[in-house]
Amino acid sequence: MSDASLKTMAGHRELKAGHFLIEFNTPGIGYILKQATCDFAVFDTEHSGYGIETVKTVMAYMRAADMPTVVRVPSREYRDIARVLDAGADGVMLPMVSTAEEAKSIVHSVKYTPVGGRGVILRSAHDRYTAGPTLEKLAQANAETVIFAQIETAAGVENVQQIAAIEEVDCLWIGHFDLSCSLGIPGEFDHPLFTDAIAEVSSACRATNTSLGRLAPDVASSIEFHKQGFDFIAYSADAWVWGDAVKAALGEIRDGCR
């Protein structure tokens, strides 16, 4: 487990192991992940139904536990990006990034002047309500806030070299189901079209020293993905791990009580 910031972790290609949150938003969730030795968490608002008030509350839990957290937002729109950052997210994960122009638009929404055009509010959740000189605060936010661009379309793979070359993009994240669908092979993760696409993205990340991440369903897949060049690996998601563990335990109980 690392105690580094999300930005520091994105600055190197060593393994960072974390977890997806799609269902649990308990006040103890940050501490639970911390004791589980997670390096980072992904809080999913694209598919979970979580709203901005929940994001703000959970980010306070995460910061109390020193658990670096990237929020997966439902769109590349400014309103979705800026609100979760103002609520205290350490970074954002953006869906369906297919061109360098889209990535540059994301940078504009994430970063303050002079790098971007994000609207400014200070002494709020994102800067932990602290005072300070405006220029220093803006520079600090620009330096610390991370961008995870999801590569989950055929066009994203085609343009991945240009996307990865954008300095402010910290990590390319494979959206494996959507990418397989875009390639015309839904769920066929061993298909040459899919494996070739992964190799293309991995090559672009190596060339630009950009981090590469994805969700892994199990331990064996996590290890294999790391061999393929992935350094941000999110092991499963809260609801799936919990459901599988309870099901397995109840099965053992029933077998033992026969």
Q: By the 8 A CB rule, do 40 and 69 touch?
A: yes
What pLDDT, in 10s, does the model give residues 34-85? 999 999 999 999 999 999 999 999 999 999 999 999 999 999 999 999 999 9
User: Residues 184-204: pLDDT tens digits?
Assistant: 999 999 999 999 999 999 999
Residue ranges per structural domain of the chain: 6-252
Active-site residue flag, 176: no
Q: Quick one: average pLDDT of 22-27?
A: 97
- Is the distance from CB of 157 to CB of 132 less than 8 angstroms? no
pTM of the predicted protein model: 0.95
Average pLDDT value over all residues in the chain: 97
Q: Is residue 2 very low, low, confident or very high in pLDDT (cuts 50, 70, 90)?
A: low
Task: Let me know: does 76 contact 105? Beta carbons within 8 Å.
Answer: yes
Instruction: List the beta strands (DSSP E) in the chain.
Output: 16-21, 40-44, 69-72, 91-94, 146-151, 171-174, 211-216, 232-237
From CA 136, how far away is CA 144, in angstroms rounded?
12
CATH fold of 6-252: TIM Barrel (3.20.20)
User: What pLDDT digit, counting tens, does each position of 81-124 carry?
Assistant: 999 999 999 999 999 999 999 999 999 999 999 999 999 999 99
1, pLDDT greater than 80: no
Mean pLDDT of 131-135: 97
Catalytic residue among 12, 47, 126, 191: 47
pLDDT at residue number 3:
79
**Residue position matching structure tokens 């793979």:** 157
Q: pLDDT band at 238, cuts 50/70/90?
A: very high
